[in-house]
Amino acid sequence: MSFLLPKATGESINLGIMGGTFDPIHIGHLVTAEEARQQFKLDHVIFMPAGTPPHKEQKYISPAEHRYIMTMLAVVDNPYFTVSRLEIENNQLSYTIDTVRRFFQIYKNGLNLYFITGADAILDIKTWKDYEELLEACSFIAASRPGYPFNKLKTIFGSAFAKIAKKIHFLEIPAMAISSTDIRRRIAEGKTIKYLTPEPVEQYIYKNKLYRQ
Ligand code: ATP
Ligand code: MG
């Protein structure tokens, strides 16, 4: 899958996967992943940039290689973080459940898998493919994100909430109303993005003239 991933030794391992488009990656992602790593004693966090969906009508997403490289630049100084090419090498839409199944094939029974998301993503979970199987197979770590209150989950799931909530760990992170959408908009408007993303990512964006329009 990737030579950068931790080896499957048969011993128990706690892995976090952080999925996203990472167009571009920013400090909201990094703070969330680092907080999850420490609180849940994760051995590694694997960033999983999504493949570029082949649909023409899809809103524009930067080519997967750019997103992969920016993610790599952002995590390179953290010994616990790595990036997987699994989804970007699969040209079709990749579903989280397929990625999770693949990880269990590789790490077998010793795997404790945590899927790390922001609150917006967890509020959407009912729309994910085979979400019930997903909640059986792994735990979720859901990070707070301004504008997406967790208590909406109760309304979404109603009486099934208690069961669902057992597999979701709610993580309070320092409020960060930062998004890739905002970074892209700032670039297009000629505004600074300094400190919103690691400096090498910022330089990569300028060097490759990303998000100019
Ligand atoms: P976009 O604006 O393009 O949707 P984004 O900032 O939401 O980008 P994604 O790549 O969509 O970033 O998100 C990947 C994951 O990171 C999602 O689970 C999302 O909820 C989470 N996430 C993104 N930004 C934050 C943030 N500021 N705080 C907490 N979680 C975040
Ligand atoms: Mg998003």
Q: Give the model's pLDDT for residue 16.
A: 98
Is residue 204 in some structural domain?
no
Whole-angstrom distance, CA of residue 51 vs CA of residue 76? 21
Q: What is the pLDDT of residues 61-99, one digit of tens each?
A: 999 999 999 999 999 999 999 999 999 998 677 899 999
Residues having CB within 6 Å of any atom of ligand 1: 20-23, 28-29, 32, 117-118, 120-121, 143, 145, 176, 178-181
* Substitution candidate for ligand 1 out of 32, 60, 124, 193 with most atoms within 8 A of CB: 32
Entry pTM: 0.95
Is residue 1 in some structural domain?
no
Is residue 187 in some structural domain?
no
Pairing, β 168-171 against β 81-83: unpaired
Give the pLDDT mean for 158-166.
86
Number of folded domains in the chain? 1
Most distant pair of Cα atoms in the chain: their distance: 51
Q: What is the pLDDT of residues 17-66, one digit of tens each?
A: 999 999 999 999 999 999 999 999 999 999 999 997 665 556 789 999 99
Q: In DSSP terms, which residues pair with 168 in a beta bridge?
A: 140
Q: How far is residue 34 from each of residues 87, 161, 173, measured CA to CA in Å? A: 22, 27, 10
* Substitution candidate for ligand 1 out of 115, 179, 187 with most atoms within 8 A of CB: 179
DSSP sequence for the chain: --TTSPP--SS-EEEEEEEE--TT--HHHHHHHHHHHHHTT-SEEEEEEPPPP--TTSPP---HHHHHHHHHHHHTT-TTEEE--TTTTS-S---HHHHHHHHHHHHGGGEEEEEEEEHHHHTTGGGSTTHHHHHHH-EEEEE--TT--TTHHHHHHGGGHHHHHTTEEEE--------HHHHHHHHHTT---BTTB-HHHHHHHHHTTTT--
Position in ligand 1 atom list of the atom nearest CA 119:
20
Is residue 107 in some structural domain?
yes
Q: Give the model's pLDDT for residue 188.
A: 97
Q: Can you give the residue range of the structural domain that contains 83?
A: 13-177
Q: Give the model's pLDDT for residue 157.
A: 87
For residue 10, pLDDT over 90 is answered with no
190 φ, ψ to 5°? 75, 20
Task: Quote the ligand 2 centre to 7 CA distance (angstroms).
Answer: 30
User: Could you tell me what percent of the chain has a pLDDT over 70?
Assistant: 95
Is residue 202 in some structural domain?
no
Is residue 188 in some structural domain?
no
Is residue 110 in some structural domain?
yes
For residue 192, pLDDT over 70 is answered with yes
Is residue 157 in some structural domain?
yes
Task: Quote the ligand 2 centre to 108 CA distance (angstroms).
Answer: 30
Ligand nearest to the backbone CA of 27: 1
Give the pLDDT mean for 112-118.
97
Centroid of chain to Cα 98: 15
For residue 178, pLDDT over 70 is answered with yes
Q: Return the CATH number at 48.
A: 3.40.50.620
